[in-house]
Structure formats: structure tokens, C-alpha cells
Structure 1
Amino acid sequence: MVLGAGCVVSAADSGWMADALCAETDPDAFHPERANPDGAARRVCQRCDVQAACLAYALATGQSEGVWGGTSPAQRRRMRLAKVVHR
């Protein structure tokens, strides 16, 4: 998968995970219940050096749950749909 600025990511590319701030954070924050906002997770993502790689991985692997790269499942669905429409 290619995402902006020539960033190429495959589903197998997960080396960035070792540097992800979420690995040092309560995993429940990244899988909030529908009634709870995901603001705490997004704040962690905003400070994370691998946010772009995380989002690219989530899009490439079709992650449909949780917060990935600072995005909600609904935001990633819209991104995937927009990519399909623009092909």
C-alpha cells in the first residue's frame, strides 16, 4: 500500500511497533467502548513518532477495531472508501 509522500507499507511491515508509545500505555484506552470517547488514545498517538506507520499498517491490514494512528474505525472506513472511489 502506498500512502502519501511515497510511503510504502505492506501488511507484513510491523517493525515500527517496537517504537510505538501505545506499547507503554493501557491497551484498553485504544479499544474504548462505543459510549466512551477515544481522546486519551488520540493524545498518545499525537506524541508518537510512528503514528504514520501505524495508520498505514491499520489501513493495509484492514484493522476495523480500536484506535490506530490516531484514527477511529469510522475514520479508517471513510479513508478506505475514499481511496476506492478515487481509483
Structure 2
Amino acid sequence: MRNVRRDLYELIFVTRNRHKFMEVSRIAEEFGLRLKQYDKEPKLELQHERQELIVLTAASTALLYVNKPLIIEDSGLYIKYLNG
């Protein structure tokens, strides 16, 4: 059985995906982070070529609802020959 630290820093992980939450939580604990899931994320699907703008918008929007230190995860698939 793994020794779990009691002095973990707590963050809110904004995601509706329970499996993603569980996977990221296990990894976060190794770095001194305890995650709590917030699964009522506002669904904002900003389409933009700059990934950092998409993530900043999503995080800023989630912060309005959570108002606590939080993390989000976002990924994109860009295919040059399809202009995306």
C-alpha cells in the first residue's frame, strides 16, 4: 500500500470526465496535490487556432464558477492540410 501524504495542496480539477479525473488525481498526488472534481463545468467551446487562448478562456470562465485555485485540461488536434 502506498504511503499517502496528509499535507497535500488542494486544487479543483474542472472536468466532467470521471476517468480523466481519477487518472490525473493519481499523478497529482505524487507532486503533493490533492484534486477535487468540479463536474458542472460551463460548456464553452471556443474555436481558435491559438491553443493558449482557448485554455485561458476556459480557465477564466471556470474561475467565475469555482472561485478557488483550479486546473483544466484541454487538447486540440490540428491538421495542417485541413486548415486546422
The TM-score with structure 2 as length reference comes to 0.30
Structure (1 or 2) with the greater strand fraction? 2
Structure (1 or 2) with the greater helix fraction? 1
The TM-score with structure 1 as length reference comes to 0.30
